[in-house]
Chains A and B, each alone.
Chain A
């Protein structure tokens, strides 16, 4: 069984990019979120952010689709049955919380 891994980096300027693939079967394993502790740790200061942006990216399914050059062909393709996405969280902090 494949499991979810959670990666957390603080004060990282370089973008973190993941490609991922979720099959409907893997979706059921998402509820096993022991690794999410890191995420909770990082979110302790969530009330300090000015803006919270959640990016939803496609995984392998979409990567395959992206190889299509024509957007018209993209619009003919549905993701139904092949769920695949990655979540990125971006915090933009106000200046008053910056370390001095």
Chain B
């Protein structure tokens, strides 16, 4: 778990305390976020807000799926589970929270980043910097 600790220390050293966690309604996505940011879990002392949003997954979640996840992760809010999948980027930019963690499948994240190219928002290349850490 040293990578989790390193991530937590790194964010702490940069004052990058995540204020909101948005996770795909998939167990693997939720667990990845919990592993990456163990000190900011929904049951941690920080009690950051964790929400599950179907807009950040390409998979189709049934009510049964959501219910099972709610039982497994009772501290995560699934209030956005039935939200419209459109305009997720505008949703992100409209949030009050400044530092946001989004956890999903790699394929969804790839498509999410691509959306910036086609977004009708006023974002442009000078406004956006993408930086990746590749752990290989």
Contacts and interface: CB of A to CB of B under 8 A. Distances in A.
Interface of A: 2-22, 26-28, 30-31, 33, 36, 39, 42-43, 46, 49-59, 61-63, 65-66, 71-72, 74-80, 83-95, 98-99
B135 A86 contact: yes
Contacts of A90: 113, 128-131
B133 A86 contact: yes
B83 interface: no
Main secondary structure, interface of A, reads: mixed
A21 to B, nearest CB: 7
Interface of B: 1-4, 6-7, 10, 14, 16, 18, 25-29, 31-33, 35-36, 59-62, 64-65, 68-69, 92-93, 95, 98-107, 109-110, 112-114, 116-117, 123, 125-136
A11 B131 CA distance: 9
Given A11-B125, A71-B62, A98-B127, A19 B133 contact: no
B28 A50 contact: no
Nearest to B121: A92
Given A51-B98, A74-B28, A93 B6 contact: no
A16 B130 CA distance: 7
Query: Which 10 A-B pairs rank lowest in CB-CB distance, beginning with the nearest?
Result: A15-B113, A56-B103, A18-B134, A30-B3, A13-B125, A57-B106, A16-B132, A91-B129, A27-B3, A89-B131
